Structure 1
Amino acid sequence: MECLVTPRLVLHPMSVEEALALTADEPAANTHWAPGYPTEADTAGALRYLETYEGRGDPRPFGAYEILRREDGHVIGGLGFHGAPDLDGTVTIGYGLVPSVRGRGYATEALRALLHFARARGITRVKGDTAHTNIASQRVMTAAGMRLVAEDEWLKYYAVEWTQDL
């Protein structure tokens, strides 16, 4: 599977071997982790990918991706889909960066690339959520083109929808 490339980032589709290495807190061969990687969210994403792989087969291209900074090749975070699209063409996404690189627009750049990727593959709706207190994540989803569609006492829910026409 091919990587998604943006001006400053490479979104690398995670393999089973890479997910196993991440959950063991050991970089895969030829992988360089930025300080603070993996976070608990990265480990949770890798575990979700492995569970999906074991239960339903390889979810790629709707699996987990590592976010690499092009300038030095370091893994600075992760993002991806929580699983394959449902019957209505909807997917749910998640993302995160190590603290040392936050505030530089990397999350928005990565999420825009993932949304473009989803739309190009016929996805009609992408959903995401975040805590009320996570203002940075709310700004990322809004900047990437998602809009607030609902909220409850714990979370704010965002989505973007497209017609089939590109």
Structure 2
Amino acid sequence: MDDLVTERLVLHPLTVVEAERVASGEPDDGDHWAPGYPADGDMVGARRFLTTFAITGDPGPFGAYEIRTREDGRAIGGLGFHGAPDENRVVTIGYGLIPSVRGRGYASEALRGLLRFARERGIVRVRGDADLDNIASQRVMTAAGMRFVGEDGQLRYYDITWDDDGAATPAP
């Protein structure tokens, strides 16, 4: 599968071999990782992708992506789908950046790119969540067009739903 390109970023779909390196935190000579990459969340995402791959096979385009800067190609974080779409064409996403690049709009840009990609592939709803105290992540989802839909004692939930014409609709 080809990389997804945004204004400042490249969203690179991880292969199994690349995901194994991210999950272990051990780069090879060909990896261009920014200092601090992969963070714990990146390793968790890579392991989730590898587990999904082992249990259900290749999730195709609905897998894990490495976030790279277009400027120098360095990996600065990850994002992706928690698995293939369900029978209602709904997916759940997650994302994260290394601390040194936060606050520059990269997470919102990457998420907007992933949301556009999902919509172009017929996804009708994307879900995400953030810890109650993770205000930055909540702002990322809002900036990318997702809407707050509820919370429990640990998480705030967001989603975006598109109608048949591709317009975002209010969350149920």
Both proteins in one fold, TM over 0.5 = yes
Partner of 1:58, secondary structure, is: coil
Q: May I ask how many residue pairs the two structures share in their alignment? A: 166
| Partner of residue 170, structure 2 | none
Q: TM-score, normalised by structure 2?
A: 0.94
| Partner of residue 75, structure 2 | 75
Show structure 1 runs of 5+ residues with no match: none
| Structure 1 residues 1-40: aligned runs within 5 Å | 1-40=1-40
Q: TM-score, normalised by structure 1?
A: 0.98
Post-superposition CA distance 1:94-134 (Å, at most 9, x none): 00000000000000000000000000000000000001100
Shift of 1:24: 2.1
Name the aligned partner's letter for residue 164 of structure 1. D
Post-superposition CA distance 1:115-164 (Å, at most 9, x none): 00000000000000001100000100000000000101110000000013
**Mapped partners of 2:45, 2:82: distance in 1:** 8
Query: For residues 129 and 105 of structure 1, do their structure 2 counterparts lie closer, same or farther at Cα, with a shift above 3 Å needed?
Result: same
**Mapped partners of 2:9, 2:96: distance in 1:** 14
Is the 1:18–1:28 contact (alpha carbons within 8 Å) kept by the matching residues of 2?
Answer: no
| Partner of residue 127, structure 1 | 127
Shift of 1:29: 4.5
Name the aligned partner's letter for residue 66 of structure 1. E
Partner of 1:18, secondary structure, is: helix
Is the 1:6–1:109 contact (alpha carbons within 8 Å) kept by the matching residues of 2?
Answer: yes
**Mapped partners of 2:52, 2:104: distance in 1:** 32
| Partner of residue 169, structure 2 | none
| Structure 1 residues 4-153: aligned runs within 5 Å | 4-153=4-153
Show structure 2 runs of 5+ residues with no match: 167-172
Over aligned residues, Cα RMSD in angstroms? 0.8
**Mapped partners of 2:97, 2:28: distance in 1:** 19
Displaced runs of 4+ in structure 1, greater than 2 A?
Answer: none
Post-superposition CA distance 1:52-98 (Å, at most 9, x none): 11111001200000000111110000000000000111000000000
**Mapped partners of 1:77, 1:100: distance in 2:** 11
